[in-house]
Amino acid sequence: MAAPEPEERCPRCGTPYNPGQEYCLECGSRLPARSGLVARLGSGWRRRLGWYPGDWIWPALLALFVAAGAGAASAIWLADGSSANDQTVVATSPPASSVQQTTQTAPEPTTATQTTATAPAPPPPPPPANTLTLWPPARSGWTVVLDSLPTVNGRAPATAEARQALHLGLKKVGVLDSAQFSSLHPGYYVVFFGIYASQAAAQSAIIDAHQKGYGGAYPRRITP
């Protein structure tokens, strides 16, 4: 005896419906058509598995198969293109004998010795960044005083402060013994910044000193 055909149910709400019924009596949804290829596939699905997700499953499966086929074709095409590129590189590479012959027949340079003989001597390297500047002997000029420390404490504190100014980015920083200059009061180690020919130039440099944290910096003339 043949098994009874599974009962048809609405794909939206699951309510049973009769063959030839066009709309669901429970939710009002349009029922799947019972003719054509899709209907036959749906009936076969129900007979085999006992349930049916809806007619949407067939377009989805078709799109999945098309995407898988396109991916496989792309992979094959890329593999063929990579092999062709490898063969092109090998075929167009020049033979080793041509390279060797070109190297042997190239003319030797004739101006290297003359250029070396006439080139000026390179300038001396700049002093290290942490080297303090010495005031030029017997030179008068202007500078920016960053700080003055009593000589009774020794030169080490003034030297340490001068190196700190270098570390902050100031250039041409050094230490003066005020007793060796007539324009300074004796008894101090003066931490100075820069050597300038005019008071206006020293005054302009004070802005840089203030930006580095030396708010009390001021210009001062230095006379031996």
pLDDT per residue, tens digit, the chain (224 aa), is 444 555 778 888 888 887 767 788 888 888 776 555 666 676 676 667 766 666 667 688 888 888 888 888 878 877 766 655 555 444 455 554 444 444 455 556 555 555 455 677 777 665 565 789 999 988 999 999 999 999 998 999 999 999 999 999 898 899 999 999 998 989 999 999 999 999 999 999 998 899 888 988 999 999 99
- Prediction pTM value: 0.43
Range of the domain at 163: 141-222
With vertex at residue 141, the alpha carbon angle to CA 138 and CA 144, rounded to the nearest 5 degrees, is: 125
Report yes or no: 186 and 175 within 8 Å, Cβ to Cβ: no
> What separation in angstroms does the CA of 149 have from each of 28, 40, 83, 146, 218?
99, 105, 79, 10, 15
Contacts of 28 (CB under 8 A, 6+ apart): none
The verdict on residue 147 lying in a domain is yes
Cα 6 to Cα 52: distance, rounded to the nearest angstrom: 10
The verdict on residue 57 lying in a domain is no
Output the domain CATH number for residue 207.
3.30.70
The verdict on residue 203 lying in a domain is yes
Cα 148 to Cα 155: distance, rounded to the nearest angstrom: 11
Q: Indicate the number of domains in the chain.
A: 1
